Amino acid sequence: METTGNKPGWLKKLDREETVWAANYLLNRWPDELEPKPDPSPAMVFITFGDSIRTLESDVAGVKLIERLRNAIRQRRYRQAEGGRKTCSFTLPLNTKDKLKILAKKADTTETAIIESLIAGALQSSQEQKEGKRREALEKTITRNSSKLAQELNKIRLEVTTKHLDASLRRLAGWQVYLNEQAPELSAEQESEANRIAEKQMREIQEAIRAVVAKYEMMSPRNI
């Protein structure tokens, strides 16, 4: 079943018939490397349309396909609206009208075609600016979350290190009390064994710290 959640504004404006058409449009052009692929059955292709959009949004080729879909929807609506044309009435300054006529003459086309081209270009530019701002905001969020995660991991390392240091100092203090604060006189063989034990304990402490940090990093929502 399609999961519920916030849908893009343009997606909410599609009626059932347009949604089925759009779902089949995506199905026929779905990137080969992108998984999961939509269910091709007529019933499921409509039900899982929202999930398909969310899957495409996670992939560069998918985002481009969504943009082509939106353009195709606009073109389809345009063709369906009274033969693809609607009469518009507006007033232009005389000098603007003269410039429009010059542009059309130089391009060997109609004034209407020039207006359509300008509108399409402005729309594309607006969409690119909007997408650029969205990507910029996403990059800032990722950078901010990465910085916060690094600070939190350093704090975890310090806390775990302090915990193990406290335990080691308590054991050392216990031996000092037991030996009446006199340092034991060790032979060379005993000194070597003591160093081996100390190094082993240090490796165990370092491994414990890495394990705690790795678990926190994996579970942190900032790393998702």
**Residue, of 69 and 107, whose pLDDT is higher:** 69
What's the CA gap between 198 and 178, in Å, rounded?
A: 19
Q: Is residue 154 helix, strand or coil?
A: helix
Residue with tokens 């080691």, as numbered in its chain: 168
Q: What's the pTM? A: 0.35
Residue 140 pLDDT greater than 60, yes or no: yes
How far apart are the two ends of the chain, measured CA to CA in Å?
A: 24
CB contact set of 165 (below 8 Å; sequence gap of 6+): none
DSSP 64: H
Residue 111 pLDDT greater than 50, yes or no: yes
Q: What is the mean pLDDT of residues 68-78?
A: 86
pLDDT value at residue 135: 85
pLDDT tens figures, 17-36: 888 888 888 888 898 888 88
